[in-house]
A and B are shown apart, each in its own frame.
Chain A
Amino acid sequence: SQTIHQWPATLVQPVGSPLSLECTVEGTSNPNLYWYRQAAGRGLQLLFYSVGIGQISSEVPQNLSASRPQDRQFILSSKKLLLSDSGFYLCAWGNPLDTQYFGPGTRLTVL
């Protein structure tokens, strides 16, 4: 069966510091991969998606970036965090019919 991992689970970072969140998927090949952000009490915002290694599509202009160095690895990064980057970051993988399955999430607080 497929599993999706995210780490870290929680993170507190100062403004201006870098960020790296990692997501890995097991038990499937060539999945669609997604990064979403959920602000407190709000819906999901799609940040990036990827249909293959090295292929990244950005949905929202911002100071975040994503990379997919391996088939089942998706990384979300920032060179300098802003206060507005605080939120719940969710990685998801999609099967060939794009049913999406979410990871446990990373709660990021930028101070």
Chain B
Amino acid sequence: DAKTTQPPSMDCAEGRAANLPCNHSTISGNEYVYWYRQIHSQGPQYIIHGLKNNETNEMASLIITEDRKSSTLILPHATLRDTAVYYCIVRYISSGSARQLTFGSGTQLTVLP
């Protein structure tokens, strides 16, 4: 799985969009970009994933650059409950197999009132 680089911390004002960047310059063509978050003392929560097209769900949007070397997770209207460590993970999908999910150090997002 390709290595990812994320800023260690970010702040965001409540109600504003939170834009969390991730660099994955060595991503290969069949690797997906996944985002998880972990709120303090809770299990990690899946947010979204994508291959090359931008993706949106009820939680967030994922914007992947055309060269796929970086991506941005967007929380459109951040709330205090979005304060968490956000992890960007690049991994290939192997249908029918089971593989470890490896979390890096992530970005600590703090939403400020």
Contact = CB atoms under 8 A, between A and B. Distances in A.
Interface stretch (A13-21, A72-80, A95-103): A95-103
Interface in B58-113: 93-105
Interface string A89-107: 0101010111111111101
Given A98-B93, A99-B49, A44 B98 contact: no
Interface residues of A, number: 25
Contacts of A103: 43
Contact of A90 (B34, B43, B49, B99): B43
B99 A98 contact: yes
Interface of B is mostly: loop
A97 B93 contact: yes
A98 B43 contact: no
A32 B96 CA distance: 9
A51 interface: yes
A97 B95 contact: yes
Interface residues of B, number: 21
A44 B105 CA distance: 10
Contact of A43 (B42, B43, B102): B102
Nearest to B104: A43
A24 B9 CA distance: 34
A26 B8 CA distance: 35
A104 B102 contact: no
B98 A99 contact: no
A71 B105 CA distance: 33
A36 B43 CA distance: 10
B98 A101 contact: no
Nearest to B94: A98
A78 to B, nearest CB: 21
Interface in A34-58: 34, 36, 43-44, 46, 49-51, 57
21 contacts: A32-B98, A34-B101, A43-B102, A43-B105, A44-B100, A44-B101, A46-B100, A49-B100, A50-B98, A51-B98, A59-B100, A90-B43, A92-B101, A98-B93, A98-B97, A98-B98, A99-B49, A101-B46, A102-B45, A105-B42, A105-B43
